[in-house]
Structure 1
């Protein structure tokens, strides 16, 4: 029993150190302040699409409503063999915008191939990357471009949240805020480990250099690998756009199955990570959740394990709640914390399943199955 307490104290201490470090990183992160007018700089939006006919119109409307000069905005949609009316919807909804559609050849497929094709065809130095189901605020291009140039960064990423209308979608939003907060906080510690390719701006040359240098086999997108590549080659030149209004909204998963498949796809990348900071964070999170599951199952055979289980569970709940309290509050979404306890009841089981299955099971995306 003494050895269990030693393991318990070590893992609990490791997790406490990690989350408290993230809290410090969040508060160290400077808030975005608009700077000079960079609106004479041309930019290109690179948007991979596959079967997005239901989402294209809000995106096109959001692009049209940008306060950035329309003659400085180019849009490239790269179609990944859509089987619906995505292309027709783009053509009918683009209006007078500078929109190009590029179709991937039959031999190429997937988001990585689409982004690579868009970068090759792009004619501007600065590119913004987003998903086809994104809902934009009107200053998105202006703020992202300002942050990239004013901060002398090579990569800027921003927050994402779901368009949540019901309890299931709000639970997803709360879980996503934990990832957004972690990515932002790690950036505040000058050790970025997470970003979301749905809200990103960078230099075209850097992304092409990354593609030429790195040959990743991961099924999911390259956003985190690109971030880690920039971190390695341009230390200190990655920033997070911290502003309560700088958030992009996107569609949540409609059901549990699609949500699990998405998280499995994200997790499938983890075996290729080499950065010590992302490995440390992933191991710390997995260990505390694995220990919780181990203790819960062990109570069946050793009744005295209930005490370390309750203590560890309480420690984790308190520190997680404090972290999410500040993150959701900053983005005016604190009301979703009412789902915190229901989420915590199953979260440690969910983490164990995703961590293991994500490295073993085939990955599904947009009607495709790929083996890892």
Structure 2
């Protein structure tokens, strides 16, 4: 695919090469879209490779990759070797040990990447002299309240992520769209120190990179670098996914991250309590309604600003409905993640 002249000059003046790392486990429903998006990448084929890591799949995932990927693309499929309590970290670590690229880019098997993905990363690496780059993630547009809720939720997460980078104190990132220098990964000893935790390959790496290279970790704020992921298809799957995300919160050493998590829980817990008091005691209903309304509206205005930047079509009604559901899911997930096990892709953690 033809690359504009201005972008060719940027690519030619850097020695950056990429290894795209993609762990997968029974992803036959999603891999076709991912591989097709990889086939469409606008980047010299000799400057990137793709390493897929099969994590004990028993479906047709491998067949789909081999059948769909362009012959001109350099790719490898590795079998994961489980060494810790985190299959995903094991998979990424294995891939990096085999990687030929100077930079590692991670994404998930249920994602689609933009054509200009690696070009945008190359620009940012050169501009910031970066060691790590965190980039935006969006949810594929689907009908139904569940999908719209996930869109609103990820918009709020992306807003917090971008805002924290803007203050110089990054708190969040998403492994579906993340890049770091291979040498930097080795200098911080990879996932050593948190490999016993099933999740957190993204946030823990962010913390280690920020501690080692405080001025060389940046957010890639570009619409042309947005990775699209697929929404889960049931509320129970959503709960399990959020529990997996939240399970690492108590293990995070970054005080700002801990305080943010506690603040989010307390505000939403208070919201529920005030709602209950308003229902049970008519005399307090006015105060309850004011608090509930203000929180939902403030959240909605924040999400509206983010959806305009990310180009997501999300009605104000869906934003309001999501704002009403959010406190219940957040409080339930927070409590369950700290005291109970959870299942993910057929495994118990």
Q: Give me the TM-score of the superposition, normalised by structure 2.
A: 0.90
Encode CA deviations 1:319-360: one digit per residue, 9 max, x unaligned: 212211211111122534330111122221111111111112
Tell me the distance in 2 between the aligned counterparts of 1:336 and 1:301. 31
Q: Post-superposition shift, 1:213? A: 4.2
Residue 156 in structure 1 maps to residue 133 in structure 2: yes
| Equivalent residue in structure 1 for 2:300, among 308, 314, 321 | 321
Shift of 1:207: 2.3
Question: What SS does structure 1 have at the residue aligned with 2:77?
Answer: strand
Equivalent in the alignment of 1:332: 311
SS, match of residue 314 in structure 2: helix
C-alpha change, 1:303 and 1:336, in structure 2 (3 Å) is: closer
Equivalent in the alignment of 1:205: 183
Q: 1:210-359 to 2 correspondence within 5 Å?
A: 210-211=189-190, 213-299=192-278, 302-359=281-338
CA distance in 2, matches of 1:93, 1:35: 27
Which residue number corresponds to residue 6 of structure 1?
none
Aligned positions, number: 338
Where relative contact order (Cα < 8 A, 6+ residues apart) is larger, the structure is 1
Q: Is the 8 A contact 2:28 2:59 kept in 1?
A: yes
| Matching residue within 120, 140, 146 for 1:143 | 120
**1:118-129 superposed matches below 5 A:** 118-129=95-106
Contact in 2 for aligned 1:268/1:358 (Cα 8 Å) = yes
The 1:137–1:300 alpha-carbon spacing in structure 2 relative to 1, beyond 3 Å, is: closer
Summarize deviations over 1:260-279 as a string: whole Å, max 9, x none: 11001000011101112111
Q: 1:172: which partner in 2?
A: 150
Counterpart contact for 1:194–1:224, Cα < 8 Å: yes
1:38 to 11, 26, 33: 11
- In structure 2, the residue matched to 1:101 is 77
1:281 is displaced (CA, Å) by 1.4
Deviates more, 1:261-270 or 1:293-302: 293-302
Unaligned stretches of 5+ residues in structure 2: 1-5
1:335 to 1:118, Cα distance in 2 relative to 1, 3 A: same
**Over aligned residue pairs, what C-alpha RMSD do you find?**
2.1
The CA deviation at 1:169 is 1.3
Q: CA deviation at 1:36?
A: 5.6
- 1:189-215 CA-to-partner distances (Å, cap 9, x unmatched) read 111101000001111122233426423
Q: Are residues 1:134 and 2:107 paired?
A: no
Matches within 5 A, 1:45-64: 45-64=20-39
Structure 1 CA distance, aligned partners of 2:283 and 2:266? Answer: 21
Tell me how far 1:221 sits from its aligned partner.
3.5
**In 1, distance between residues paired with 2:280 and 2:30?**
51
Q: Write the deviation string for residues 252-305 of structure 1: whole angstroms up to 9, x where unpaired.
A: 101111111100100001110111211121122111111111222334665444
1:360 to 331, 339, 347: 339
Q: Is it true that 1:190 corresponds to 2:163 in the alignment?
A: no
State the distance in 2 between where 1:193 and 1:263 align: 17
Is the 1:111–1:221 contact (alpha carbons within 8 Å) kept by the matching residues of 2? Answer: no
